[in-house]
Structure 1
Amino acid sequence: MRSNSTGSSSSFKEEDLKKQTSSPSSASSAVDSRFNQTLRSVHGLLKGRSFPGKILITRRTDPPDDAILQSPNSNRSFSDYDSESSERIEGSMQDEHQTRSISSINSSFSKMKTSTSLPENLSKEVQKAPVGARATDSARLMKFTKELSGTTVILDNLRELAWSGIPPYLRPTVWRLLLGYAPPNSDRREGVLRRKRLEYLDCVAQYYDIPDTERTDEEITMLRQIAVDCPRTVPDVTFFQQAEVQKSLERILYIWAIRHPASGYVQGINDLATPFLVVFLSEHLEGNIESWSLADLAPEKISDVEADCYWCLSKLLDGMQDHYTFAQPGIQRLVFKLKELVTRIDEPVSKHMVDQGLEFLQFAFRWVNCLLIREIPFNLVTRLWDTYLAEGDALPDFLVYIFASFLLTWSDRIQKLEFQDMVMFLQHLPTQNWTHLELEMVLSQAYMWHTMFKSSPSHLAG
């Protein structure tokens, strides 16, 4: 987990936050001008240091410029389907001062969690880094190399590195470790993966590759629902429209549902399987995701990928079982906490939403159900999930802060909308042009608020 050594000055009282977020309108311009400076200070102080005095948090009225929005790990190397975002980030960080700033943020923001298994020849993988990679790329790469090359991976160290982003070619290995699917001990890793993949194959033969006459009516209904949902999964990415991809998703989801009868299949779980499918396929397919085809893979490779997806999806959902049981109480609880948190951080926008009669469940239920997969460009999802998986068991608690940060990105605009327009806006947020910069800002602000509130848990009581 994150360091608890932020110092006594970071233990903010609820009263302080109320005073800060409810300042008179006459001071709003001065407050906004101080926001960017405050956020930069926080970036530099996140790694176990005390905050200098009190941190002033408020809404921003204008989008920060690229120079201020330097993300904690925006200069890392991306996969091919991240390349467009990477180029846009590179263009905003040319001078030496900016490079030093990013390096500082990288070192301070790498404060959360990580874990996984090492590729066969890591030295070759390191050479895959882009020619233009900066020193901070190499430094982070060497840290990952050191953590993954030991006989036993220290998961806490790996989580700290992974929180602020994982190099794409190390992501499959790190994700398996973070989720506890692959053991930290390298001597046991290959054997465990082989055994779990064979177990998945046995499940496919026992539950999936059978005629409908051997299924119950409930199982037939569930399989049909999965078959309907798979073509709807990530519709804007043509890779997921391939019949072979949809069949793999169908097998994974059906086996999971059969082996988890307390919840069975629930719409939204199909979205949660997609990041795993893309990440584990990236070990076998190269180039842009839109050029991938499962026809290029041997059946045994596809089976291994499906098995890894199944077991990692199971590990993820083990920590949020009540999100998908009857009435989905876990999701409703998180949405309630989100409403409470937004009220404390940004009372004006919260009051406006209440005055317009907008319920948080009307837009936030999907956010929690699909963990924001449907709200941001798919090429950013794996980066977001680096942080999710690095959070480990604390993920459900931290999700509230991510959702609050995501919502309040649009605070000023929301306050200008009436009910109907507000509902439409929140269900179709304009994130299609987002890059890693905007995502890193959401994550850093979520971390900052979590740091401020974690010593005052009563702010979410009730």
Structure 2
Amino acid sequence: MLKGRSFPGKVMLTRRSEPISPPEYSPRSENDRYEYEQNEGSQEVEGQASGNTTENISSKKSISPSTSSVNSLPDAQGLVSGARATDSARITKFTNELSRPAVILDKLRELSWSGVPPYMRPNIWRLLLGYAPPNADRREGVLTRKRLEYVECVSQYYDIPDTERSDEEITMLRQIAVDCPRTVPDVTFFQDPQIQKSLERILYTWAIRHPASGYVQGINDLVTPFLIVFLSEHLEGNLDTWSMENLSLQDVSNIEADCYWCLSKFLDGMQDHYTFAQPGIQRLVFRLKELVHRIDEPLSRHIEEQGLEFLQFAFRWFNCLLIREVPFHLVTRLWDTYLAEGDYLPDFLVYISASFLLTWSEKLQKLDFQEMVMFLQHLPTRNWAHHELEMVLSRAYMWHTMFKSSPSHLAN
């Protein structure tokens, strides 16, 4: 049935009465603990002997899985300066890749992981998601065909009277109409009636064509990075100065189509995140809990002692992919890494979320239950710049590199 569903965006201000055993989860064995401690020990010794290097994080895919590779991670300052999306050497590499008759997607992913130059994002995101074909000769024809197909879908499913919809479809459309004005409320541009109407068309058409999940609150947030990136091909200057009045109807239609197809491609690998009971997200939350226990046992123990469940704050993180937790001007940079991860994104989201949470480990350990609840609902990220985000991604990369050779600590 096609129904809109809510998710627990608000944390319940109640303690749980007893520990909850994660489903489909086996306890860590002593062998796991020994393997982890051995990795930690060898890393510390090697770190003292060799120190950090300035190897760029964009070589992520080619680094060997040994724990010594953790020490090749750049320090925070090196990461920010070396991986800057506007660096001339990196722009040259992007330009060379995009000028090929057929783009090599693996190389494009390696480059994109550390950030994409803003003016290149529309084309690169279409390629990374498989919406635009790697072969340059076919690209324009495929995009034209897919954009026309979207127009036909809107005509068939959206531009019809309510008398032709089922009760479930009417309820879903009303829920979408309620959620659109709530989307990125602190960015004035998203309050534009035309933007909200575009959001409504995209979301409703997507939901009708994906009946296994239908519309789930939070998917409205996932459209926004695509909207901003594809609008940037037509609107110049700061987001605060943009106006939909400067766009033709054809431009709006093409932008909507690109958003629709990219959203579809993006969610194809995460369908069970938005089906009934959202088992995919619950699985990631339990993996996050285990990972935090392995990385920061004092914080894990404090959260446990205070009776705070990871589901109470991390569910929204995974549901909205941290869009609501960081300033909106950083979202497209974050999504460069998301799209570069491709099919591996759900796994890497666990590490990003752990890195995000542990940013405030010391402070959280000083808070009681209700103080943690309030803090996690209103994280102090308003003044974050690219440096803070790169730090989160840097730690996530480090832990992923450390643990990927011994994945038993996250076994389902």
TM-score, length-scaled by structure 2: 0.85
User: 2:213 aligns to what?
Assistant: 263
* Alignment counterpart, residue 360 of structure 2, candidates 382, 385, 410: 410
- State the distance in 1 between where 2:246 and 2:274 align: 35
- Contact kept, 8 Å, 1:404 with 1:446, in 2: the verdict is yes
- SS of structure 2 residue aligned to 1:300: helix
* Post-superposition CA distance 1:23-74 (Å, at most 9, x none): xxxxxxxx9xx9x999981653864567795969xxxxxxxxxx963252x3
Task: Note if 1:365 corresponds to 2:384.
Answer: no
- State the distance in 2 between where 1:308 and 1:198 align: 11
Q: Give the alignment of 1:16-415 within 5 angstroms.
A: 17-18=36-37, 41=52, 43-44=54-55, 47=59, 48=62, 69-70=76-77, 72=79, 74-75=80-81, 102=82, 106=83, 137-415=87-365
- State the distance in 1 between where 2:318 and 2:33 align: 25
- State the distance in 2 between where 1:181 and 1:382 align: 18
User: 1:446 aligns to what?
Assistant: 396
1:181 CA drift (Å): 0.2
Where does the alignment leave 5 or more consecutive residues of structure 2 unmatched?
1-31
1:290 CA drift (Å): 1.1
* Post-superposition CA distance 1:299-355 (Å, at most 9, x none): 010000000000000001101000000000000000000000000000000000000
- State the distance in 1 between where 2:335 and 2:164 align: 38
1:15 CA drift (Å): 2.9
* Post-superposition CA distance 1:265-312 (Å, at most 9, x none): 000000000000000000000001111111110001000000000000
User: 2:13 aligns to what?
Assistant: none
Instruction: Look up the equivalent residue of 1:441 and give its one-letter code.
Output: M
- Contact kept, 8 Å, 2:147 with 2:258, in 1: the verdict is yes
- Contact kept, 8 Å, 1:21 with 1:346, in 2: the verdict is no
Instruction: Look up the equivalent residue of 1:44 and give its one-letter code.
Output: E
Task: Indicate the structure whose relative CO is greater, using CA pairs within 8 Å and at least 6 residues apart.
Answer: 2
CA spacing shift, 1:71–1:266, aligned 2, 3 Å = farther
CA spacing shift, 1:409–1:17, aligned 2, 3 Å = farther
- Contact kept, 8 Å, 1:21 with 1:345, in 2: the verdict is no
Which moved further from structure 2: 442-451 or 46-55?
46-55
User: 2:4 aligns to what?
Assistant: none
- State the distance in 2 between where 1:54 and 1:291 align: 45
- State the distance in 1 between where 2:193 and 2:48 align: 50
- Contact kept, 8 Å, 1:69 with 1:441, in 2: the verdict is yes
* Post-superposition CA distance 1:411-459 (Å, at most 9, x none): 0000000000001111111000100001001101101100110011101
1:227 CA drift (Å): 0.2
- Contact kept, 8 Å, 2:352 with 2:392, in 1: the verdict is yes
- Contact kept, 8 Å, 2:76 with 2:394, in 1: the verdict is no
Instruction: Look up the equivalent residue of 1:293 and give its one-letter code.
Output: S
**Once superposed, what is the RMSD of the aligned Cα atoms?**
2.6
Instruction: Look up the equivalent residue of 2:55 and give its one-letter code.
Output: G
- State the distance in 1 between where 2:243 and 2:273 align: 33
- State the distance in 2 between where 1:393 and 1:68 align: 27
1:16 CA drift (Å): 5.7
User: 1:15 aligns to what?
Assistant: 34
Percent of counterpart pairs with the same letter? 72
CA spacing shift, 1:400–1:248, aligned 2, 3 Å = same
- Contact kept, 8 Å, 1:254 with 1:265, in 2: the verdict is yes
CA spacing shift, 1:187–1:365, aligned 2, 3 Å = same
1:154 CA drift (Å): 0.3
CA spacing shift, 1:229–1:415, aligned 2, 3 Å = same
User: 1:80 aligns to what?
Assistant: none
- State the distance in 2 between where 1:235 and 1:265 align: 20
Where does the alignment leave 5 or more consecutive residues of structure 1 unmatched?
1-12, 23-30, 57-66, 76-101, 111-128
Which moved further from structure 2: 421-430 or 47-56?
47-56
- State the distance in 2 between where 1:170 and 1:260 align: 30
- State the distance in 2 between where 1:52 and 1:336 align: 24
* Post-superposition CA distance 1:70-93 (Å, at most 9, x none): 252x35xxxxxxxxxxxxxxxxxx
- State the distance in 1 between where 2:176 and 2:406 align: 42
TM-score, length-scaled by structure 1: 0.76
- State the distance in 2 between where 1:437 and 1:211 align: 49
